[in-house]
Structure 1
Amino acid sequence: MAFWNRRKPIEAPQHQELKRTLSWPHLVALGVGAIVGAGIYALIGQGAGMAGPGVIVSFAIAGAVCACAALCYAELASMMPASGSAYTYTYSSLGELAGWIVGWALILEYSVVVSAVAVGWSGYASGVLTGFGVNIPQMLPFGEMAGHALHFNPLAVFIIFLVAGLLILGTRESAWVNSALVVLKIAALILFLVIALPAFDISRFTPFAPFGWGSTPQADGTNIGVMAAAAVMFFAFYGFDAVSTAAEEAKNPGRDLAIGIIGSMVICTLLYMLVGAAAIGAMDFNMFASSGEPIAEIVRSLNQPEAAAIIGGVASIAIPTVILAFLYGQTRIFYVMSRDGLLPRSWGRVHSKLGTPVIMTIFTAVVCSALAGLLTLGEIASLANAGTLAAFIAVAVSVMVLRHSAPNAERPFRTPLVWVVAPLAIVGCLYLFSSLNLGTIERFFIWMAIGIPIYLLWGARKSTLAVKG
Structure 2
Amino acid sequence: MVRTLGLTQLTMIGVGAIIGAGIFSLAAAVAKDVAGPAVLISFLVAGAASLCAAFAYAEFAGMVPKAGSSYTYCAAVLGEIVGWIVGWDLLLEYTAIVAVVAIGMSGYLGFLLDAVGVQLPAWALGAPGTGAGHRIDLLAVVICLAVAWLLTRGTRTSARVETVLTIVKIAIVLLVIVVGLTKVHTGNLHPFAPFGLGGAFTGAATVFFAVFGYDALSTAAEESVEARSKLPKAMMLSLSISMVLYVLVCVVLTGMQRYSDLDPNSGISSAFASAGLSGLANVIAVGAVIGIVTVTFSFMMGASRLWYALSRDGLMPAWFGAIHPKRKVPHRATWTIGAVAAVLAGVLPINAVAELTNIGVLLAFMVVCASVLILRYRKPHLRRGFRCPGMPVVPVLGMLFSGWLMSFLQWETWVRLGAWLAVGLVVYATYGYRRTREVMPGGSVDLDALDEMTDGEEPEPGAERLPVR
- Cα distance in 2 between the residues matched to 1:462 and 1:348: 14
- Cα distance in 2 between the residues matched to 1:194 and 1:31: 23
In structure 2, what residue type is equivalent to 1:32?
A: V
Q: Is the 8 A contact 2:322 2:330 kept in 1?
A: yes
- Cα distance in 1 between the residues matched to 2:201 and 2:428: 34
Pick the aligned partner of 2:205 from 210, 222, 231.
231
TM-aligned CA deviation for residue 76 of structure 1:
0.1
Partner of 2:239: 265
TM-aligned CA deviation for residue 284 of structure 1:
0.9
1:28 to 2:1 alignment: no
1:23-422, aligned counterparts within 5 Å?
23-48=6-31, 49-137=33-121, 140=124, 151-214=135-198, 225-288=199-262, 290-422=263-395
Distance 1:361 1:91, change over 3 A: same
Partner of 2:423: 450
TM-aligned CA deviation for residue 353 of structure 1:
1.0
- Cα distance in 1 between the residues matched to 2:215 and 2:348: 23
Q: Is the 8 A contact 1:235 1:381 kept in 2?
A: no
- Cα distance in 2 between the residues matched to 1:137 and 1:30: 35
Distance 1:343 1:317, change over 3 A: same
- Cα distance in 2 between the residues matched to 1:317 and 1:229: 25
Deviates more, 1:205-214 or 1:293-302: 205-214
Partner of 1:3: none
Per the normalisation by structure 1, the TM-score is 0.89
Matched position secondary structure for 1:210: coil
Per the normalisation by structure 2, the TM-score is 0.89
Matched position secondary structure for 1:246: helix
TM-aligned CA deviation for residue 227 of structure 1:
2.0
Partner of 2:461: none
- Cα distance in 2 between the residues matched to 1:433 and 1:304: 39
TM-aligned CA deviation for residue 374 of structure 1:
3.6
Q: Is the 8 A contact 1:74 1:413 kept in 2?
A: yes
Matched position secondary structure for 1:269: helix
Matched position secondary structure for 1:173: helix
Q: Is the 8 A contact 2:126 2:347 kept in 1?
A: no
Q: Is the 8 A contact 2:355 2:413 kept in 1?
A: yes
- Cα distance in 1 between the residues matched to 2:179 and 2:402: 35
In structure 2, what residue type is equivalent to 1:203?
A: G
Distance 1:226 1:445, change over 3 A: farther
Cα RMSD over matched residues? 2.0
Matched position secondary structure for 2:146: helix
Matched position secondary structure for 2:303: helix
In structure 1, what residue type is equivalent to 2:187?
A: S
In structure 2, what residue type is equivalent to 1:177?
A: V
- Cα distance in 1 between the residues matched to 2:125 and 2:282: 29
- Cα distance in 2 between the residues matched to 1:313 and 1:170: 26
Distance 1:405 1:395, change over 3 A: same
- Cα distance in 1 between the residues matched to 2:354 and 2:128: 23
CA deviation string 1:112-155 (max 9, x = no partner): 1100111111111111112112212475389979xxx9832221
- Cα distance in 2 between the residues matched to 1:234 and 1:298: 23
CA deviation string 1:276-319 (max 9, x = no partner): 1111111111111x431111111111111221111112222342
In structure 1, what residue type is equivalent to 2:276?
A: N
In structure 2, what residue type is equivalent to 1:330?
A: A
Distance 1:278 1:50, change over 3 A: same
- Cα distance in 1 between the residues matched to 2:333 and 2:221: 18
Q: Is the 8 A contact 1:188 1:311 kept in 2?
A: yes
Partner of 1:221: none
Q: Is the 8 A contact 1:22 1:250 kept in 2?
A: yes
Deviates more, 1:426-435 or 1:314-323: 314-323
Q: Percent identity?
A: 40
Partner of 1:19: 2
Q: Is the 8 A contact 1:181 1:317 kept in 2?
A: yes
In structure 2, what residue type is equivalent to 1:190?
A: L
Tell me the number of residue pairs that the alignment of Structure 1 and Structure 2 aligns. Answer: 438
- Cα distance in 2 between the residues matched to 1:352 and 1:340: 20
- Cα distance in 1 between the residues matched to 2:289 and 2:128: 29
Q: Is the 8 A contact 1:389 1:433 kept in 2?
A: yes
In structure 1, what residue type is equivalent to 2:41?
A: V
Q: Tell me, which stretches of 5 or more residues in structure 2 are unaligned?
A: 443-469
Q: Is the 8 A contact 1:139 1:152 kept in 2?
A: yes
In structure 1, what residue type is equivalent to 2:195?
A: F
Matched position secondary structure for 2:315: coil
Q: Is the 8 A contact 1:235 1:382 kept in 2?
A: no
Q: Is the 8 A contact 1:35 1:238 kept in 2?
A: yes
Deviates more, 1:133-142 or 1:380-389: 133-142
Q: Is the 8 A contact 2:102 2:140 kept in 1?
A: yes
In structure 2, what residue type is equivalent to 1:66?
A: S
Q: Is the 8 A contact 1:126 1:138 kept in 2?
A: no
Pick the aligned partner of 1:434 from 407, 422, 440.
407
- Cα distance in 2 between the residues matched to 1:133 and 1:401: 59
